Amino acid sequence: MAPQLEEIHIKNCKVVTDRWKMVDELPKGGVCAELGIWKCDFSEFIFQTLQPEKLHLIDIDSKSIQIALDKFSGEIDRGEVQVHHSDSSAALLSMPDQYFDWIYIDGDHQYHGVKKDLMAAHEKLSPSGLISLNDYIFFGSSDLTKYGVVEAVNEFCVNFDYEIVFMALHGRMYNDVTLRRIDD
């Protein structure tokens, strides 16, 4: 069982239809990162929708990195996108503290991987920043795989005082969530 969330962790949560709608409702601009980019389809949507001052694209797989270099060559030349061939938490930890306005976590979905990404994100997030995670699901019905995102997210919210502000639905319940620090 994932740690139980309390009312304080969900009372401001808005449920939206899907993750595209969720991203559309996030603040525009700022410094953003996508951890785990695969074919960069969502990266393109993020870039077009949020129009970030800078978007960091991070993946451990060289094929994904090549896709990013090809798709974003103009943006890379203009300094709007930076591509990192790296473990996601290591890449985040190499950045300045409180640097990011939004971090999208979609890399290693096992509990320890998500926990490492969340801890790095916590350190590098601006005070008003947001963290979103894909696949807030306990067990995947499509791939018959255990995911550790629910346990890592709930534990993080309870231990570090974050609340869920968006839950974005998915047709097979591979939902997204967005977290922010609870105001004192």
143 counts as binding ligand SAM under rule CB under 6 A: no
Residue nearest ligand SAM, CB atom distance: 36
Q: Does 111 bind ligand SAM (CB under 6 A)?
A: no
From CA 133, how far away is CA 35, in angstroms rounded? 9
The whole-angstrom separation of Cα 157 and Cα 140 is 22
Output the CA–CA distances (angstroms, integers) from residue 113 to 102, 149, 152, 170, in the order listed: 19, 9, 9, 22
Instruction: Specify the residue, 67 or 164, whose C-beta has the smaller distance to ligand SAM.
Output: 67
**Among 55, 57, 105, 108, contact with ligand SAM (rule: CB under 6 A):** 108
Task: Provide the CA 143 distance to its chain's centre, in angstroms.
Answer: 21
64 sits near ligand SAM (criterion: CB under 6 A): yes
Options 30, 42, 120, 156; binder of ligand SAM; rule CB under 6 A = 42
Helix (H) or strand (E) holding 16: strand 14-16
Residues of this chain that bind ligand SAM (CB under 6 A): 34, 36-38, 41-42, 58-61, 64, 87-88, 106-108, 113
